[in-house]
Amino acid sequence: PGTDFDACVDAADITLSGFSPTGGTWSGTGITNATGVFAPSGAGVGSHVLSYSVSNAKCTTTETITATVNGLPNVVAGTYGPICLGDDVTFNATGATTYSWSPATGLSNAAINNPVASPTATTTYTVTGTDDNGCVNTDQTTLTIEPVPTADFTAESVCIGDTMFFVNGSSPTTGVSYQWDFGNGQFSTASDPSNLYLNPGDFDLELIVVWGNCSDSFTSTVTVNPRPSTSFLATPEQTTAIEPLI
């Protein structure tokens, strides 16, 4: 009646045609109409023998073909992130031969299994994978993008023994934590700290602001000045009874 064929399990019903002599009937797993309609989804994955029988007044002739139903590839997009805004992550989809990602926004190459993703907002990606049999399946992954804080501060120069006060200009101001390194072996986690420098010089001060999984740092040099030295010389004068005061 014809040649063997294969189909993906999710393919539409297939009409078996072009067989001779005409007028026969079909039977077998997946046959939904004896005139020759085969449903891959109804047959299920595997090889199925389909019989075509033609009868006349004296005898019946039966021939067979094999329908192979292929399963869908097990496409796995993977799980990633969250990542901070401005960072990237490499995807690694598996289970197929060729791949296509959608949307392509923020991807280095939407036609490979392992593009580098660096979107500017949380994005759900769908990967479509095709195997060697031409069967297709999809999977999704959501990459969450977390905001990054901005670290900033100001401070004025002081002299040895004076307290230096720091004005925190970072943002946001809530939900964050601070890590101050004053450059002299002293540290703080306060929002607007102060520090006493006991030695003169220039000190590299760093502020790290942490917000969720993301952070930012700001470094500035502060100056501690030595105190000026003062001296005087007194020259005594003779006093007399007439001028007892100098």
Mean pLDDT across 67-83: 97
Q: What is the pLDDT of residue 236?
A: 62
- pLDDT band at 121, cuts 50/70/90? very high
Query: 20-24, 147-151, 215-219: lowest mean pLDDT where?
Result: 20-24
What would you report as the CA-atom Rg of the chain, rounded to the nearest whole angstrom? 41
Q: Does 1 have pLDDT greater than 90? A: no
pLDDT > 70 fraction of the chain, expressed in percent and rounded: 92
The least confident of 32-36, 44-48, 52-56, 192-196 is 52-56
Strands 37-38 and 31-33 turn out to be antiparallel
Selected residue with higher pLDDT from 33 and 22: 33
Average pLDDT over residues 145-174: 95
pLDDT on residue 227: 84
Q: Cα dihedral sign for 169, 170, 172, 174?
A: negative
Q: What is the pLDDT of residues 182-237, one digit of tens each?
A: 999 999 999 999 999 999 999 999 999 999 999 999 999 999 999 877 665 555 66
What value does the mean pLDDT take over residues 133-149?
98
Condensed to tens digits (0 to 9), the pLDDT of residues 37-49 reads 999 999 999 999 9
